[in-house]
Amino acid sequence: MKFLSEYRDPALATSLVSRIRALSTRPWTLMEVCGGQTHTIVKQGILDVLGDSVEMIHGPGCPVCVTPLEQIDRALHLASRPEVIFTSFGDMLRVPGSDCDLFQVRAQGGEVRVVYSPLDALELARANPDREVVFFAVGFETTAPANAMAVWQARELGIKNFSVLVSHVTVPPAMTAILESSDNRVQGFLAAGHVCTVMGWSEYEPIADRYQVPIVVTGFEPVDILEGIWMAVKQLEEGRAQVENQYARSVRRDGNRQARDIVGQVFQLVDRQWRGIGEIPMSGLGLRDEFAAWDAEQKFDLHGIRATEPAECRAGDVLRGRIKPIECAEFGTTCTPENPLGAPMVSSEGACAAYWSYARYRGGDGGGEEFAEQSTETRS
């Protein structure tokens, strides 16, 4: 398949590894800001083949993982209400709340349905006018256009029994928060290709300039990531700090104008809590006032639901790149996919899930083969 097999070419990947090692005159520390990239890096053995030339730090690039505990508890509350049909993408069902998860609510009689699009949830509301249909709108900028369109259509069609529980977050403020932290070690970023497909990369240019860090927009296949690493290291070795685009087959500087327009019409920037991290100012998307009738938080008065993160879960340290998953004392002991303490262990884009899935990181006899035939893409 064009634009697939060639980006998994073992010979080309091996050549890029050699070029990175030859180029590096000192160890460099880069952060990938995408859970899909994290899974490819871990699965394909990229952490191992880079040796001492580059350390990859895993960032807060998993939208499921950074959804705050109190928002999960609000989802659980809604899903338990008899008049509500609660809809979500499947990756949210195993994320633990304070007492249970959505799978358990469904087992106890709550009507929780997996949908593939927010427009499916909107159609469900049209077909069930006597029920309240709520869609759990989680994600980075990548999923925001479809969610915005669903709310827009609900207003245009006058569908009042549809609402969204919004937990959208945006990437640039998270990058800024990491760079401004006192213990920051990040010297360059691999930016999430799917986010930039929608938003472009112009909003990263002030970050690169202000903090003097290279930012390379990167795809998700092994060759994409290795080329992105090589481009970032080249900038560091040359003393440059610019935004460059490795993912040229999908990303343009201005992104997708129509998608950006519908997001801007329906959403506005708001302060947002990040699970395990805390509040990052103006880092989320919330519905504009004219769409308040479709805001589940307001419709069902959920603002009073608060939650406290479990002290034993170090998801925040993992999401900020302070530790690798295997450096958490709970990893593989009290925290497993069957009994997770936090979302990074059960999300398909979580760093803890990546380390668990490939046995060499939990004391097994090896994970996936380097540059294997599969890699993970993400909806970010």
CATH code, domain carrying 84: 3.40.50.11740
Distances (CA, A) of 310 to 276, 340, 376: 9, 11, 29
Q: Is residue 205 part of a domain?
A: no
Which range among 119-128, 166-175, 201-210, 268-277 shows the weakest confidence by mean pLDDT? 268-277
pLDDT per residue as tens digits for the range 131-156:
999 999 999 999 999 999 999 999 99
**H or E stretch covering 57:** strand 54-58
Backbone angles phi, psi at 142, to 5 degrees: -60, -45
Averaged confidence pLDDT in the chain: 92
What pLDDT is attached to residue 361? 59
Range of the domain at 76: 64-170+255-299
Q: Residue 365: its pLDDT value, please?
A: 42
Give the residues across from 29 on adjacent strands. 55
Digit-coded pLDDT (tens) for 31-77: 999 999 999 999 999 999 999 999 999 999 999 999 999 999 999 99
260, part of any domain: yes
d(CA 361, CA 60): 20
Model pLDDT, residue 251: 97
pLDDT tens-place string over residues 179-192: 999 999 999 999 99
Q: Which of 107, 108, 166 is nearest to 134 (CA)?
A: 166
Query: Which residue's structure tokens are 């427009």?
Result: 119
- Collapse the DSSP code of 302 into the 3-class scheme (helix H, G, I; strand E, B; otherwise coil) and give the result: coil
> pLDDT for 219-265, tens place per residue?
999 999 999 999 999 999 999 999 999 999 999 999 999 999 999 99
Predicted confidence (pLDDT) at residue 362 exceeds the cutoff of 90: no
pLDDT at position 360: 57
pTM above 0.75, yes or no: yes
Q: Is residue 57 part of a domain?
A: no
Helices (H), ranges, the chain? 10-23, 35-43, 46-49, 63-66, 69-79, 102-107, 118-127, 144-157, 171-180, 193-199, 205-211, 222-238, 257-266, 296-299, 315-319, 351-357
Residue 369: pLDDT over 90: no
Among 281, 78, 45, residue whose Cα is nearest residue 170: 281
Q: What is the DSSP letter of 255?
A: -
Q: How confident is the model at residue 277 (pLDDT cuts 50, 70, 90)?
A: confident
Residue 308 pLDDT grade (very low, low, confident, very high; cuts 50, 70, 90) = confident
Largest separation between any pair of C-alpha atoms in the chain: 66
| Inside any domain, residue 221 | no
What confidence score (pLDDT) does residue 203 get? 97
- Sequence-distant (6+) residues with CB within 8 A of 220 are 34, 36, 37, 40, 193, 194, 375, 376, 377, 378
Asked whether residue 4 is assigned to any structural domain, the reply reads no
Is the model more confident about 361 or about 142?
A: 142
| pLDDT for res 373 | 39
Phi, psi (rounded to 5 degrees) for 143: -90, -5
- Cα torsion angle, 289, 292, 295, 301, sign: positive
Query: How many domains in the chain?
Result: 1
State how far the Cα of 174 lies from the Cα of 204, in Å rounded to an integer. 12
Residue 109 lies in a domain: yes
Residues in Cβ contact with 33 at an 8 Å cutoff, skipping those fewer than 6 apart: 59, 60, 61, 171, 174, 175, 189, 190, 191, 192
Domain annotation covers residue 313: no
Residue 286 lies in a domain: yes
